[in-house]
Every structure is written in C-alpha cells, then in structure tokens.
Amino acid sequence: MAMNPATQGYALPCGRDMEQLWQRLEELGNDPHERDCPHCRAAHGSLQLLREATAELRHDTPAPSQDLTSRIMAAVRAEVRRRELLPLPTHEPGGARISERVVAAILRFAADTVPGVRARHCRVTTRPGTKVEVEMELAVRYPDTTGAALNLVRERVPAAAGARIGVEVARLDVSVTDLYDG
C-alpha cells in the first residue's frame, strides 16, 4: 500500500527507500541492515508511531458536548414547531388545518413565477375565518426593475392563495429589499 505519492522514491541517508520500509514495517528484525541501521531504526520508530496514532484516531469516537447537542436539539424543535394553524375551507366536521409556514411557502412560489422577481421572505398572519395578511420581501432584477413585475406579484399571490389553498388575502404588503444582476 502506497503511503503517499510524494514519498515514493524517497531514500533515507543510508539509501533505503522509505516506501519499502513502510511496507515491511512489521518485519524490522528480518533484515540485518534495517535492524542495525540508525536511519532505518529512526524511520521505523516514526512510522510505527504514525501507525499507532492513526489507529487510535480511527477507533476514537468522541461524543459531542452536551451544550452542542442541546443547542442543535433546540434549533430542531424550533424548526418543527408549528405556528398558527389556519382552517381550510371544508365540509368535514372538524376540518383540516394548514400551518402559516406552508401558506408562506406556497405564496413565495407564486411570487417566484413572475419573471425578474425572487421571493426572499414571506410572513403570513392568520385572521378570523380563512383570511390571511401577508408581508412579502422581494429581490428584483436590475436594471429591469419595473412596476409591472410588482403588479403581477400583487395579482398572482392572492390568486394562488385562493386557488391553491382556499384562503383569502385580506392584506398584501410587498417590499423590494434587494436587487440582483440578471
């Protein structure tokens, strides 16, 4: 097994090849030169330490710190926690509900379908019944920034809310917070 292409052909001061010494690491006592040569013995000792250290590292499985684990789990729990659930229009008793986060994702997708617009952030707040208020931040392509793209976003977002989810947008605030080179 080759140690490293950079060490291939590396000769010790005594003339022995380091790669060959590595391959015969277990057999130091079999070759009289390697057994008596100070260069070969020193290289052998270094290679043996290297082998032991890498074996130890390979078998070492350190446990993550308790602080790290608790911070990761707190982030996971926060991500999974649902915010407000919005009732969907249904004729079933008890009905179905959808999270504000899912509604925001659908509305961001609707804004992203407008050429020259990228939805950056969408915050949905539920109102009584099946109404929502939406605050949306957009990035708009520069220099093609025209009001036509924003008007199209103002049309598509409420249309998607009604057609895809069955909710009414009571208020839609659209802000351009970034420009991008298109």
- Residue 166 domain-assigned? yes
For residue 174, list its beta bridge partners: 136
Say which residues have a Cβ less than 8 Å from residue 132's Cβ, sequence separation at least 6. Answer: 86, 100, 103, 124, 125, 126, 161, 167, 168, 169, 170
Give the model's pLDDT for residue 9.
Answer: 65
Residue 77 lies in a domain: no
Say if residue 53 is in the same domain as residue 101.
Answer: no
Whole-number Å distance between alpha carbons of 182 and 116: 8
Q: For residue 150, what are the domain limits?
A: 85-181
Return d(Cα 64, Cα 66) in angstroms, integer.
6
| Residues 10-48 pLDDT 10s | 788 888 888 877 777 776 567 788 778 888 888 878 888
Query: Higher model confidence: residue 92 or residue 164?
Result: 164
**Mean pLDDT along residues 152-169:** 93
Indicate whether 145 belongs to any domain.
yes
CA dist list (Å): 148 to 102, 139, 144, 151: 27, 14, 10, 5
Domain count, the chain: 2
Residue 138 lies in a domain: yes
Q: Is the pTM of this model over 0.75?
A: no
Q: Is residue 173 part of a domain?
A: yes
Residues 53 and 89 in one domain: no
pLDDT band of 123, cuts 50, 70, 90: very high
The predicted-structure confidence for 64-101, as pLDDT tens digits, reads as follows: 666 777 777 776 665 555 567 777 776 666 677 788 88
